[in-house]
């Protein structure tokens, strides 16, 4: 029976992983579909090219990518026209600001699902504009770690600006690579410029960033807040969830243990 129990646990775990993988594929497929409305040729559609790169990085099969492009560009009927990009805003426990981007074919359903996820964990879905002023939307080019040194990175980014490239507004270096930040409108030019410097580009995207964080120091507030963010991210229509939450690593580990 012990072997049976272990096998049952493995199957349940695999089912959860497969379900999450399927949800990611669905979201990325919708992103490609919406981007393809402006044209099905990635060479002339930077938004589509970006969506395809993200999908490939996540392991989405080429057949899925081609099908999503066909839907959005009108080659496979009008299904792509059903989805629209919508932004929602709200508050979590402790006053944490939350910004949600979704692709939906039914605003009422999406809003109802979001409202339930917020309220179940002590948060509130707010009106448009209630927290967006707390965030800035930036272009972000992600670099692979490799042998990347901060001094070398800084020299290269200064070189980019000195040679007429887009302005770099900041960078973040971590153990897995680095993020190079620029103005929202400069995403294509920024990734082209960084790639032209010979730096190892792993991906690029538009990202919401909160300059002023909301710091939580109470475990009883942090726990439901994290659960709320997880619940929001698990919704089918949700494309991304961004918050201004900040907490010490030790507290986060204690809550997630």
CATH number 3.30.70.980 is the correct assignment for the domain at 83-134+211-256: yes
pLDDT of residue 11: 41
Q: For residue 244, what are its two tokens? A: 């201004």
Mean pLDDT of 55-84: 80
Question: The CATH number of 2-81 is which of 3.40.640.10, 3.50.90.10, 1.10.10.200, 2.60.200.20?
Answer: 1.10.10.200
What is the Cα–Cα distance from 100 to 40, expressed in whole angstroms?
27
Task: Give the pLDDT confidence of 22-51 residue by residue, as tens digits.
Answer: 677 888 888 889 888 888 898 888 888 988
Give the strand pairing for 177-182 and 214-215.
unpaired
Please say whether the beta carbons of 254 and 219 come within 8 A. yes
pLDDT of residue 77: 60
pLDDT of residue 20: 62
pLDDT of residue 246: 93
CATH number 3.30.70.980 is the correct assignment for the domain at 136-209: yes
pLDDT tops 50 at residue 52: yes
Q: For residue 115, what are its two tokens? A: 């409202």
Q: For residue 55, what are its two tokens? A: 């999908």
pLDDT of residue 14: 44
Task: Give the pLDDT confidence of 127-181 residue by residue, as tens digits.
Answer: 999 999 999 999 999 998 777 788 888 888 999 989 899 999 998 888 788 899 9
Choose between 140 and 14: higher pLDDT: 140
The rounded mean pLDDT for the chain is 86
CA-derived radius of gyration, the chain: 20
pLDDT of residue 4: 40
Task: Give the pLDDT confidence of 183-209 residue by residue, as tens digits.
Answer: 999 999 999 999 998 888 888 889 999
Domain boundaries defined on the chain: 2-81, 83-134+211-256, 136-209
Give me the sign of the Cα torsion angle 4, 5, 10, 16. Answer: positive
pLDDT of residue 230: 92
Model pTM? 0.78
Residue 125 pLDDT class (50, 70, 90 cuts): very high
């Amino acid at each position: 029976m012990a072997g049976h129990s272990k096998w049952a646990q493995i199957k349940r775990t695999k089912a959860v992983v497969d379900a999450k993988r399927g949800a990611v594929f669905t979201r990325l497929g919708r992103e490609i579909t919406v981007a393809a409305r402006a044209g099905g040729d990635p060479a002339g559609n930077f938004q589509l090219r970006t969506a395809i790169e993200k999908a490939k990085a996540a392991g989405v099969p080429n057949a899925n990518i081609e099908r999503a492009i066909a839907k959005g560009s009108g080659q496979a009927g009008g299904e792509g026209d059903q989805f629209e990009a919508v932004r929602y805003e709200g508050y979590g426990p402790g006053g944490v600001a939350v910004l949600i981007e979704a692709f939906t074919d039914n605003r009422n359903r999406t809003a109802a699902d979001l409202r339930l996820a917020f309220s179940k964990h002590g948060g509130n879905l707010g009106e448009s504009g209630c927290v967006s002023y707390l965030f800035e939307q930036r272009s972000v080019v992600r670099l692979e770690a490799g042998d990347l040194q901060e001094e070398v990175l800084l020299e290269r980014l200064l070189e980019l600006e000195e040679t007429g490239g887009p302005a770099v507004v900041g960078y973040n270096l971590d153990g897995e690579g680095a993020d190079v930040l620029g103005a929202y409108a400069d995403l294509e030019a920024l990734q082209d410029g960084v790639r032209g410097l010979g730096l190892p580009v792993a991906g690029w995207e538009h990202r919401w960033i909160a300059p002023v964080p909301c710091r939580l120091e109470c475990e009883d507030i942090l726990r439901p807040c994290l659960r709320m963010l997880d619940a929001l991210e698990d919704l089918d229509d949700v494309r991304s969830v961004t918050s201004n939450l900040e907490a010490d690593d030790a507290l986060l580990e204690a809550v997630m243990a």
